[in-house]
């Protein structure tokens, strides 16, 4: 099949579609990226134009294909203990203030392939010991969630993990698993994953959290989408709970319902 090109009108259709579903604003510089990632889906379905692929998605009759499209167009760059100052703040400032017998709960709301929630899990296991704790990771992309559930990573991904945590919580593979490591069972037992679209109200069944990480995802959103996402998150935070965002992000002008503790760290009254 010859190269499939996309017209400006077709690109605009996909810009509106991914914005409607995931809140992601694809500017014109992402045109080649979209073509590169979606052209193989057109070939898979023997389609000859992006218009025909869009019509297939827009009918609502192919929800699995729509999810594949979302998975291909979402960015999932992540690594262990990214922005380490946030983890130090949780350890030194938030956990010591936790009172009562209830479990200390943390939600990694854009968890990608799991490096962030497992980083949190290592920290909580080390700091809280036998006290109850739980980590929930969520993402809109099913492909990365499937990887996260396994807790299985290449050893090349270990940069950033403290050596003590490597010894305690990372099981190095042998024989046919050489070159990889597995998160320890005691971490995986307390870390769960689920698909959540932050553009929609979050099911109350997920419970409430002491800390919510929402890092390095709002950079892909415009102002109304940022406000919508934060509005959907806030009901799932406990009173006095903390919201942590990325170092290149801010909630200034986004919401008045949290107080600034320090740049990128906010608290719900």
Residue 78 maps to a domain: no
Same structural domain, 238 and 215: yes
Which residues of the chain carry a pLDDT beneath 70?
A: 1-2, 75-76
Q: What is the CATH number of the domain that holds 223?
A: 3.40.50.150
Residue 3 maps to a domain: no
Q: What is the CATH number of the domain that holds 59?
A: 1.10.155.10
Residue 216 maps to a domain: yes
In sequence order, the 6+-apart residues with CB closer than 8 A to the CB of 12 are none
37 a catalytic residue:
yes
Same structural domain, 151 and 258: yes
Q: Helix 8-22 to helix 50-58 angle, to the nearest 10 degrees?
A: 30
How many other CB atoms are found less than 10 A from the CB of residue 49? 14
Phi-psi category of residue 114: left, alpha or beta, with phi > 0 → left and psi -120 to 50 → alpha: left
Is-contact 195 89, C-beta < 8 A?
Answer: no
Provide the pLDDT for residue 2. Answer: 62
Same structural domain, 14 and 35: yes
Which one from 71, 139, 210, 236 is the annotated catalytic residue?
139
Which one from 37, 147, 188, 194 is the annotated catalytic residue?
37
Residue 2 maps to a domain: no
Provide the pLDDT for residue 92. Answer: 97
Coil vs helix vs strand at 155: helix
Same structural domain, 161 and 43: no
Total structural domains within the chain: 2
Domain that holds residue 245: 84-267
pLDDT tens track for 63-88 = 889 988 888 887 667 899 999 999 99
Same structural domain, 227 and 260: yes
Tokens of 106: 């943390």
* Boundary residue ending a domain (50, 73, 96): 73
Quickly list DSSP for 42-75.
HHHTT---HHHHHHHHHTSS-HHHHHHHHHHHS-
Q: What's the rounded Cα separation, in Å, for the pair 80 and 97? A: 25
The pTM (predicted TM-score) of the whole model is: 0.87
Quickly list DSSP for 186-228.
HHHTTEEEEE--TTSPPPGGG--EEEEEE-S-GGGS-HHHHHH
Helices (H), the chain: 8-22, 31-44, 50-58, 63-73, 84-89, 115-128, 142-150, 163-169, 185-188, 223-233
Residue 1 maps to a domain: no
139 a catalytic residue:
yes
């Amino acid at each position: 099949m010859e190269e499939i090109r996309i017209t400006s009108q077709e690109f605009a259709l996909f810009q509106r579609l991914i914005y409607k579903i995931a809140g992601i604003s694809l500017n014109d510089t992402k045109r080649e990226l979209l073509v590169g990632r979606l052209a193989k889906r057109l070939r898979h379905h023997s389609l000859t134009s992006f218009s025909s692929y869009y019509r297939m998605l827009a009918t609502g009759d192919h929800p699995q294909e729509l999810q594949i499209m979302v998975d291909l167009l979402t960015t999932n760059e992540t690594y262990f203990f990214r922005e380490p100052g946030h983890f130090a703040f949780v350890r030194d400032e938030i956990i010591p203030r936790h009172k009562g017998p209830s479990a200390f709960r943390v939600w990694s709301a854009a968890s990608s392939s799991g490096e962030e929630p497992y980083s949190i899990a290592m920290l909580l296991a080390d700091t809280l010991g036998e006290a109850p704790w739980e980590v929930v990771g969520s993402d809109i992309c099913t492909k990365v969630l499937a990887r996260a559930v396994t807790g299985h990573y290449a050893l090349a991904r270990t940069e950033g993990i403290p050596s003590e945590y490597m010894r305690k919580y990372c099981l190095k593979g042998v024989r046919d698993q050489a070159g990889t490591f597995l998160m320890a069972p005691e971490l995986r037992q307390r870390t769960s994953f689920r698909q959540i679209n932050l553009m929609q109200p979050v099911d109350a069944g997920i419970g409430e959290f002491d800390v919510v990480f929402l890092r390095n995802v709002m950079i892909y959103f415009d102002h109304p989408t940022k406000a919508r996402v934060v509005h959907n998150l806030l009901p799932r935070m406990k009173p006095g709970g903390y919201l942590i965002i990325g170092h290149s992000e801010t909630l200034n002008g986004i919401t008045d319902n949290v107080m600034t503790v320090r740049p990128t760290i906010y608290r719900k009254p």
